[in-house]
Amino acid sequence: MLKWPLEKAKGKNYRDIFKLFVKDKNGHNLEIISVSDSESDRTEVILSSLLKEKGEINNQEAVLKPRNQEFFPIEFSATKIEENQGQVIIFRDISERKDTERRLKKYASTDLLTEVLNRRAGLEYLNEEMNFAESNNYSLAIIFIDVNDLKLVNDNFGHQKGDKLLKQVSDILQQSLRRNDKVVRLGGDEFLLILPQSSKTAAEKIWRRIQKEFKKVSAENENDYTISVSHGTAEYSPDYQKSLDELINKADEQMYKEKKKLKSEKND
């Protein structure tokens, strides 16, 4: 696992061989050691110092840096040998387990069809961002989105085409946003965009860009339907605070007005 030939490892300090890293800024609290996605967030652990402080370490997670290889996650235990001032370290590769955990975590928070956040995970993220905005005197904007005529697409072309439409909408939304912006599928034909540190004005600017992309994809679409959506925006700010439900309802009301207007124009 360490990729060290015996002849090259002989005579080296164990720290040169067993290079152990943990997630940075956790105060070396081994109870919360975890594998970080970013190498910049990792800090090397001096195991002898930890053992001096704790005496014994049991079944803790960290990441290991083999010789000329990528980091990989391990679970390890270690203890001191007082008689010869040595150490015993037992460790195992847990890459497969961590991959499984990541997949399960993704499935728990992701809408399976569109691969955006599901309702539960999305509302949790919105609540966190609203708390952050309040604490730091920031504003936050959301965009409530309803896909128009999804039922007609399902009835006329089949549910597979309806699913494809939802996937197209979610793909365009994801490609149009910043890294910290999130797309949430609330259910059925409804989506929510969460835009941290944004105003309602900024949200409308983002929406105009998204609308252009919808029109472009619709023009290139081989199907007999266009991608049509209605939207409504709302802002959470220190001057105008709302509860999570009030914020979403405000955007929903704006969306409904636009949908009603589109239907009226269509009938005319």
Q: Alpha-carbon distance 61 to 159, whole Å?
A: 45
Which string of b and e fits 136-153 if b means at least 16 CB within 10 Å? Answer: eebbbbbbbbbbbbbeeb
Q: Choose among 231, 222, 240: nearest CA to 261.
A: 231
189 is catalytic: yes
Q: Alpha-carbon distance 190 to 118, whole Å?
A: 11
Q: Alpha-carbon distance 219 to 208, whole Å?
A: 17
- Pick left, alpha or beta for residue 223 (phi over 0 → left; psi -120 to 50 → alpha; otherwise beta): beta
Catalytic residue among 111, 146, 149, 189: 189
Q: Alpha-carbon distance 98 to 82, whole Å?
A: 34
Catalytic positions: 189
